[in-house]
Amino acid sequence: MMFTLWESFRSAMESIRAHGFRSVLTSLGIIIGVMSVIAVVSIVQGLSQTVNAQFEGLGSNTLTIRSYTPFKKALQGQFARLTNEDMELIARRVDGISHITPVLFSQSGAQGRISFRAQESFAQVFGVGSDWMEVNGSFPETGRPLTREDDQRRRLVCLVGVDVIENLELPEDPIGEYFRVNNEWCRIIGVMEERGELFGFSQDDYVMMPYGTARRMQGASRTLDIQVQLMVENMERRDEVKARIRRLLRQEHGLKAGEADDFRIQTSEQLTESFNAIISTITAAVGGIVGVSLLVGGIGIMNIMLVSVTERTREIGILKALGATRSDILLQFLIEAVLLCLVGGLIGIALGYAVGALAATLMPGFPPAFVPTWAILLSFGFSAGVGVIFGIIPAAKAARLDPIDALRYE
Amino acid sequence: MSTSDSVIRFRDVARRYVMGDQVVNALDGVDLDIYRNEYVAIIGASGSGKSTMMNIIGCLDRPTEGDYFLEGQNVSEMDEAELSRVRNREIGFVFQSFNLLPRASALKNVQQPMVYRRMRRGEREARAARALERVGMGDRMGHLPNELSGGQRQRVAISRALVGEPSILLADEPTGNLDSKTTREIMQLFDELHNEGQTIIMVTHEPDVAAHCNRVIRLEDGRVAEDRYQEKRRGTADRETVPPAAAGDDAADDAPGPEPEP
């Protein structure tokens, strides 16, 4: 069996080489299919690696609590909320928390308008407690951090990301400068460390002010909804802390035994997981599209193999006269089809890698492409499978030819 | 000669084709024995059943009725795979249009039958090289068919037929595509092979070619119309005694000057 396989492989190689250009055209469908899967997977996987690395920076001993409104309740207009009182309750009643901070985004989710002299721009504006820097592991590069006093006195001071300086054409050392945030004058007390880009979007385009200040700027709103970020003292006690917060908040929000939580407590790992779930979905969707293109490629292979069998009818007759059995002929043509697909797959992987790398380089802020081994193996497996499925009909046709008719064929 | 010595034995062999509502008797009850080391010409007008007979002898086709024994094996009862094996081991085909594999070198062409015997490459190449040397093609083993002349192609085809040491060399109009000079050379090669003990059967319509054989079978309407033994005509290179009449013919053929036909 090995002998026959090897001989068939050799004659298939010769045949493919004899029709070099046609072979490439034949496997073009496979080449394009595999190329697109490798290109997309390499970009998505490169992204996923970078994002996971960033989430790791968040630390696994932090918890994020946010309100959660089920879709059904949202339709009824009943929005869950998390308030400053909730946070204070947690800070008071739960042991094992080293730092805790509220985070207040604008309620509409819109970006804040900022301006300096004639320059106007938009930035993410949010209010935080003085512990925010510890919890997020992100500190001012220059200037001073926000303090508890800033918060209590609701000072109009803020920390800015590096992009804000650029967008507003602020002086190189902007500390002490005043600029407008949503029509309030605000003094810059520090510039934050650069965080880089994610998905091609800047992460340094933000203005951070004391929680109290941000709350005052939003006005006395009954629908105030904050997020709470906290850091546990001891990693081992994280789940214990989480459980205690959950009990406390359920009690505080008056939830009955059967009712679902109206908040979510997430660890950074969960954030990573939900991100990875999105990545998997994208990958699967791309896989489906590529499956269709491989199908089309396979039909191309079958078409050319059928032509090739007709073209080589006489040759098949000669081989049969020389003693080739049906299975010898079948194997020869089948292996030729599989080999065509595999060569196509190989070219596709190489091109896909190149396209992925090029795309990642050309798109500003995109992480480098990464091709996982499973994608390569899967592409190879799929190519071979397509070869077998679409090669079997032409090969069977060749094997069934009557030697007399085949020898007479002109 | 005893019947046990027969290489080929036809017993009431018939081959019928159904064409529309008509039944064509391509072969119609043929009895025939061909013995070891015979040199047989099968002649006849077109449509006389030559090709059908050739296909059946070569195990490319099976009789509709009757029995065909090849080296004592009943071919009529064989399945596809067995027929392939018999073609590979017992038959060496030589065709009018050479039928070499176009993309394979002479050496590869001659190796091909050995591939189906699962013979390893080194051994195959050695045997193929010997077979090519035997027909005087030892210096052109690496050439592709389209780099060879007609006579050279037919030599490669003959060495491919012989490489497996078949019971019979089966040639279908082997000189049909060759000029008269090359025809003489190829027929001389057949004569030599016959002298070495090879059983040869050839289908031909050329009397000159049939004259080389020691037995002539003439078919007519699917039956054997004539079956005679004859004095074999000697090729020019044959060192054996040459009958005076035949020697005169050969001398005329060998005369220098333009070929009588292209």
Q: Do residues A131 and A99 lie in contact, with contact meaning Cβ atoms separated by under 8 Å?
A: yes
Q: What is the DSSP letter of A203?
A: S
Q: How many angstroms separate the CA atoms of B8 and B173, rounded? A: 20
C-beta of residue A52 within 8 angstroms of C-beta of residue A272: yes
From residue A223, give the alpha-carbon distance in Å to each of A108, A212, B152.
Answer: 11, 16, 98
Poorest-pLDDT segment among A173-177, B104-108, B231-235? B231-235
Nearest to A162 by CA among A132, A191, A197: A191
Which pLDDT score is estimated for B234?
57
Please, what sign has the CA dihedral across residues A360, A361, A367, A372?
A: positive
| Model confidence at B252: pLDDT above 50 | no
- Predicted confidence (pLDDT) at residue B141 exceeds the cutoff of 60: yes
Which helix (H) or strand (E) is B209 found in, with range? helix B207-210
Task: For strands B168-172 and A119-128, give the pairing.
Answer: unpaired
The residue written with tokens 């008797």 in the block is B25
According to DSSP, residue B29 is labeled E
Q: How much is the CA Rg of chain B, to the nearest whole Å?
A: 19
Residue B3 is predicted with a pLDDT of 47
Percent pLDDT > 70 in chain B is 87
The predicted structure's pLDDT at residue A224: 80
DSSP A290: H
pLDDT at A38 (0 to 100): 87
Distance CA A145, CA A131 (A): 10
State yes or no: pLDDT of B159 exceeds 90.
Answer: yes
Q: Across the 410 residues of chain A, what is the mean pLDDT of every consecutive 10-residue run?
A: 78 83 86 87 81 65 86 81 89 90 80 87 90 86 91 91 90 90 90 76 86 82 81 85 91 86 82 79 80 85 90 93 92 91 91 88 76 86 90 94 89
So what's the pLDDT on residue A1?
65
* Burial call B195-215: b when 16+ CB within 10 Å, e when fewer: eeebbbbbbbbbeebbbbbbb
Q: d(Cα A348, Cα A375) in Å, to the nearest integer?
A: 12
* Dihedral (CA of B39, B44, B46, B50) sign: negative
Tokens coding A49: 């690696």
DSSP designation for B145 = G
Give A 322-361 residues with CB within 8 A of chain B: 322-328
- B256 pLDDT above the threshold of 50: no
The alpha-carbon gap from A403 to the nearest alpha carbon of chain B, in Å, equals 6
CA distances from residue A399 to A55, A253, A261, A316, B249 in whole angstroms, order as listed:
59, 76, 67, 8, 49
- Count CB-CB contacts under 10 A for residue A309: 22
Longest dimension (CA), chain B: 56
pLDDT digits (tens, 9 = 90+) for A265-314: 888 777 777 777 888 888 788 778 777 888 888 888 899 899 989 999 99
Q: Do B117 and A323 touch (CB under 8 A)?
A: yes
Q: List CB contacts (< 8 A) between B165 and chain A.
A: none
- Residues β-bridged to residue B204: none
Search chain A and give the residue with CA nearest B161.
A322
Chain B residues close to A327, C-beta within 8 Å: 81
Give the one of A14, A321, A326 whose C-beta lies nearest to B80's C-beta: A326
Under 8 Å between Cβ of B29 and B14: yes
Tell me the ipTM for this assembly: 0.85
Q: B130 and B162 in contact (C-beta within 8 Å)?
A: no
CA B15/CA B35 separation, integer angstroms: 23
Phi and psi torsions of A157, nearest 5°: -125, 160
Interface check for A240 against chain B (CB to CB < 8 A): the answer is no
Q: Where residue B52 falls among pLDDT bands split at 50, 70, 90?
A: very high
Residue of chain B whose alpha carbon sits nearest to that of A13: B103
Q: Give the closest-approach CA distance of B241 to chain A in angstroms.
A: 37
* pLDDT for A394: 94
Predicted TM-score (pTM) of the model is 0.68
**Backbone φ, ψ for residue A189 (5° rounding):** -110, -10
Tell me what pLDDT residue A256 has.
86
- Per-residue pLDDT at B128 exceeds 90: yes
Of A3, A18, A324, the CB nearest to B84: A324
Tell how far CA A270 is from the center of its chain.
15
pLDDT band at B158 (very low <50, low <70, confident <90, very high): very high
Chain A residues lying within 8 Å of B58, measured CB to CB:
321
Output the pLDDT for position A58: 59
Does residue A5 belong to the interface with chain B, where contact is any CB pair within 8 Å? no
List helix spans (H) across B14-149.
50-57, 80-90, 106-115, 121-134
What per-residue confidence (pLDDT) applies to A198? 64
Interface test with A, best of B101, B124, B168 (most A CBs within 10 A): B101
Confidence at residue B259, expressed as pLDDT on a 0 to 100 scale: 43
Residue B237 confidence class, pLDDT cut points 50, 70, 90: very low
Q: Residue A26 phi/psi, 5° resolution?
A: -60, -45
Q: How far apart are CA B244 and CA A263, in angstroms?
A: 119
Q: Which residue has the tokens 């191309």?
A: A300
Q: What is the DSSP letter of A235?
A: G
In this complex, do A323 and B58 lie within 8 Å of one another by their Cβ atoms? no
| A residues 390-409 lying closer than 8 A (beta carbon) to B | 403-404, 407
- Chain A residue numbers touching B87 (CB-CB < 8 A): 320-323
Chain B interface residues facing chain A, Cβ-Cβ under 8 Å? 55, 58, 60-61, 80-81, 84-85, 87-89, 93, 95, 99-104, 112-113, 115-118, 160, 164
| A329 → chain B, closest CA residue | B116
The reported pLDDT for the residue numbered A290 is 76
CB atoms B88 and A314 under 8 Å: no
